[in-house]
Structure 1
Amino acid sequence: MRGGSVAVVGGSIAGCAFASAAARAGAEQVVVYERTRGRMADRGVGLCVHDDWAAELTAAGTLPAGVPTHRLTRRRWVVRDAAEPAGKPFWEQPFPFHSYHWGLLWSGLREATPASVVYRQGVTVAGVTGGGAGAEVALAPADGGAGAAERHDLVVGADGYRSVVRDAVCPGSRPHYAGYVCWRGNFDARLLERLGADVWPSDAVTTVCFPGGSCVVYRIPGPDGTRVNWVLYAVPPRGTLRLDDPTSFPPGHLTAELATGLAELLDREFPPRTGPA
């Protein structure tokens, strides 16, 4: 766009990327509202970007050069099999992606945000209302006083699954619990070396499949060397979890019942050489 004022609600990866793109496209003013105060926590999880898309974003200046990546070329699918301790592969496909560490990618995007972008931290957006040729961003009382609002020509939502912008566009829309949970974590890649390159190839995303779920495993660059990122989708043991609202458990808040259920799932469904150490 040329000219005008753009507000971006949420200053994480998507928010920083869009703010940079809007500024480079000619917006007269770009304001990012981020509720986190100070430096955003390093979440230490991975994400993957297709090679072609990464090249396009880099050429456009949205994805800064120099952000550490790990190259991936294929995706393997395996299941538990009594005759194969490392699991039985049943499918493999090309996977031309690079993986990123969330914290390192966010840091790179934040540092590459044009100086003209106003990045306001510690500011919570309470709601967004449209009308006429633009929209108003209402700030929470602690961040500007009751009723404080700022008007922009365009408001972009990059504020996650509890998005106030989504609520403004689709009033009353709410996520519903799908009946399963997503476990995620990461660890030092050196812990996999003793299993052999055939079990966890460094250039592969390996997906372990089992009834009712799957686990995706791949390497990511880390602040202190290569790490392994894993994401496991499974139904929790009956009676151990009740979610009436979208939520997540931060590190250190896992219940003993859920931890036991996860350990039993790994012992029962994962190939022995891909299960817990």
Structure 2
Amino acid sequence: DNVIEELRRVVGHITKISMGETIRGTYGDYIEKKGRIAYFEPAVLTGSDEEGIEQELKIWAKYSKTDGGILEKIISYPPEVKLEKTLVLIKPDSFQELSSKVGNIIDRFSQTGLFIIGAKVIHMGVREAEEFYAPIKERLAEKMKGKLLKEIRSSLQGSLDFKLPQGIEEGIAEELKSYKTEHEFNKIIKFMTGIDPREVLDEEEKEEVREKCLALVYQGENAIMKIRKVLGETNPEEAAPGTVRKDFGLDIIKNGAHASDSSLSAEREMRIIQIEKDDIPEIVERHYGRIN
């Protein structure tokens, strides 16, 4: 409700820029000399009414295929720079209530000096999330065995009046690790999609979406290493102070953001979420009818 009015309030007036109270007040410039505009930098463009917004969105949709997409060849780099691209996903919990969390996370990544060359709101279905996180499932198995072993020893300690033969606890952990792995993996999928994969009964439900993420493509020298350094360890409790996961994460699943761990992973993940697919014309036509 009142989305246009609220955006205009947050963005601020196009000329009467107040200091720091709005986006334009912080990042914009409007300079007059002798009664004429000498310099104008609005920082943000936003529509002022429903009719104007419809016209602007239709213009975006009309030119999105030719002028949009991943902006790989826009920024000039020295010839000796070995460029990398990496993918960041800002996770669903950042969008579940009104807050500045998403912007603060992006600000933290901006410390790397890398350029954002692509941005897209994505909605993962169960099938897509399972493919995206498949490599993690493979790594979870061994981690789960160690975790299970601790839980089994803790549970059995003092509950039996006899000593277990050597290797029994390890055997139980080995038997149960596949079930524990599946359980933990399903928690990740449910968090990313809003759907419990155990309750999906048919293939159509695997395409259903309930949550959203913000996908960002960063480009620059050593992009993967720089982003992961700012991101921090998977477990927020183990992450270094000042990292995204330390400051914005809650646990190993709700840990603020995901980032690719290699160039191959980045390519694979961007393909799965179809980062280069142009959805703008379809979305605009769905709301406003034909573009032309």
TM bin, normalised by shorter chain, reads under 0.3
Based on CA coordinates, which of the two structures has the bigger radius of gyration? 2
Q: Which structure carries more helix by proportion? A: 2
Q: Which structure carries more strand by proportion? A: 1
Give the alignment's TM-score, normalised by structure 2: 0.19
Instruction: Using CA pairs under 8 Å that are at least 6 residues apart, name the structure with larger relative contact order, 1 or 2.
Output: 2
Give the alignment's TM-score, normalised by structure 1: 0.20
